[in-house]
Amino acid sequence: MLERAHNVRLMIFDVDGVMTDGSLYYTDSGEELKAFNSLDGHGLKMLRQSGVALAIITGRNSRLVEHRARNLGIDHLIQGAHDKLAAFEQLLSDTGFSMADCGYMGDDVIDLPVMRRVAFAVAVPDSPTLVRQHAHYVTGARGGNGAVREACEIIMQAQGTLDAQLAPYLK
């Protein structure tokens, strides 16, 4: 598993169920709300600082996700991707990365076409069995509750960059 994570140069994340707990909240006026985990956010920032490019491919459209991606410095954001494989192939074309350079973290069957092609596929523990079966790593933490941070730290550990990212906090 660490060998697979060692090669990741672009890590791609789904949103609902991965960066959030998968719950969809709506106000009476129809405005959508999402809760993001700050530990996950810092993990993403550390992973980016370690040299791994970041991307989001999500099937939904949300201004909240756009704001979160911008806040975290996520390099590539693809929303409304009902065909995640086509979105992934376009991302590869746009960035010059190969499938072997990529990792992907998802939680549902819509993520399988990408998970089955990347070097390092990650799922959350409450994913359907089929999704977990196709993951190279299943996090201990649930989506929206530190799973993204866990995946980021696994990649940095595999690449030998985790200690350097944590060192400033251990002064």
How does pLDDT run across 110-143, given as a tens digit for each residue? 999 999 999 999 999 999 999 999 999 999 999 9
Question: Which DSSP letter does residue 141 get?
Answer: S
Residue 1 has pLDDT above 90, yes or no: no
Specify the pTM. 0.97
Note the pLDDT of residue 13.
98
Q: Which residues, 6+ apart, have CB-to-CB distance to 156 below 8 Å?
A: 46, 47, 50, 162, 165
Domain ranges of the chain: 2-162
- Torsion (CA) 37, 143, 140, 108 in degrees, nearest 10: -160
Percent of the chain at pLDDT above 70? 100
For the chain, what's the residue count? 171
Arithmetic mean of pLDDT over the chain = 97
- The CATH topology of domain 2-162 is Rossmann fold (3.40.50)
Overall average pLDDT of the 149-158 stretch: 98
- Let me know if 64 is exposed, middle or buried by CB neighbors in 10 A (0-12, 13-18, 19+): middle
Where would I find the H helices in the chain? 2-6, 38-49, 63-72, 84-95, 112-115, 129-133, 147-159, 162-166
Query: 48 - beta bridge partners?
Result: none
33-61 pLDDT, tens digit per residue, is: 999 999 999 999 999 999 999 999 999 99
Residues 154 and 156: their CA atoms lie apart, in Å, by 6
62-89 pLDDT, tens digit per residue, is: 999 999 999 999 989 999 999 999 999 9
